[in-house]
């Protein structure tokens, strides 16, 4: 068994009908760019009725058709925000908690110790979060229920160096189900490519067509800080 094998992100997505919401952070094979990606999927009308929109410091989720919006509390948020040279990526309003805490001198970990999984039993959807530094190194976290009853929160943190060609992928669910099974284990080691368009296209193509909603991908030059990004929405 090769525990250091780098898996194919295309295969992981292609073979999973419902990973839910996912974060990928990593470095291009040539070592020059840091990569961040975030996608959302949905099964209900409320979850599917969303698009990603650009903001001054990142992106936000918005209702595609405001007349169909039922409960905005867990689906409308600011998933990507810049924090100086860092980029924060999460699947909920904990993005703001992280940014506000770090602006006041706190840490990524301290911010997330004030939060827990989403109150949507029986799924108890995990809160997944990431932050990528100027040099490309990054941290990932998951906050999830300790049991079927949602009686307490398990908080896990992972810290990674910038390694060319290597990324890590964390997602909210193992796969589809009822209730939906929570992600288990460490973030998965996955491949990264050098080209934004190629990578974004590959991710979008392999997300389940019936459940995919929106995708964000950013490639940032480590030396200059300049970036290019793509947003793909199923609702257009």
pLDDT in tens, 44-71: 999 999 999 999 999 999 999 999 998 8
Mean pLDDT taken over the chain: 97
Q: What is the DSSP string of 33-49?
A: EEEEEEEEE-SSHHHHS
Over pLDDT 70: what percentage of the chain?
Answer: 100
Per-residue pLDDT at 1: 86
* Strand ordering across the sheet containing 166-171: 188-191, 166-171, 22-27, 33-41, 212-221, 227-233
Is pTM beyond 0.95? Reply is yes
Chain segment 128-175, per-residue pLDDT in tens: 999 999 999 999 999 999 999 999 999 999 999 999 999 999 999 999
Mean pLDDT of 184-196: 98
Per-residue pLDDT at 71: 87
Q: How far does CA 103 lie from the centroid of its chain?
A: 21
Over pLDDT 90: what percentage of the chain?
Answer: 96
């Amino acid at each position: 068994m090769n525990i250091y094998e780098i898996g194919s992100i295309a295969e992981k997505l292609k073979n999973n009908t419902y990973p839910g919401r996912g974060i990928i952070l990593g470095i291009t094979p040539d070592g020059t760019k840091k990569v961040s990606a975030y996608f959302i999927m949905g099964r209900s009308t409320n979850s599917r009725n969303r698009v990603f929109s650009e903001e001054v410091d990142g992106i936000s989720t918005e209702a595609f058709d405001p007349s169909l919006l039922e409960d905005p509390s867990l689906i409308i948020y600011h998933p990507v925000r810049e924090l100086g040279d860092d980029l924060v990526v999460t699947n909920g309003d904990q993005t703001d908690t992280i940014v506000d805490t770090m602006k006041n001198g706190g840490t990524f970990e301290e911010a997330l110790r004030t939060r827990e999984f989403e109150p949507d039993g029986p799924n108890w959807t995990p809160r997944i979060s990431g932050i990528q530094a100027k040099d490309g190194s990054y941290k990932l976290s998951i906050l999830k229920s300790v049991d079927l009853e949602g009686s307490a929160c398990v908080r896990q943190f992972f810290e990674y160096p910038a390694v060319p060609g290597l990324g890590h992928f964390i997602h909210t669910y193992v796969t589809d189900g009822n209730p939906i099974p929570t992600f288990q284990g460490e973030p998965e080691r996955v491949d990264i490519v050098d080209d934004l368009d190629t990578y974004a296209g590959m991710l979008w193509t392999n997300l389940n067509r019936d459940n995919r909603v929106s995708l964000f991908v950013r490639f940032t030059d480590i030396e200059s800080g300049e970036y290019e990004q793509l947003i793909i929405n199923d609702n257009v």
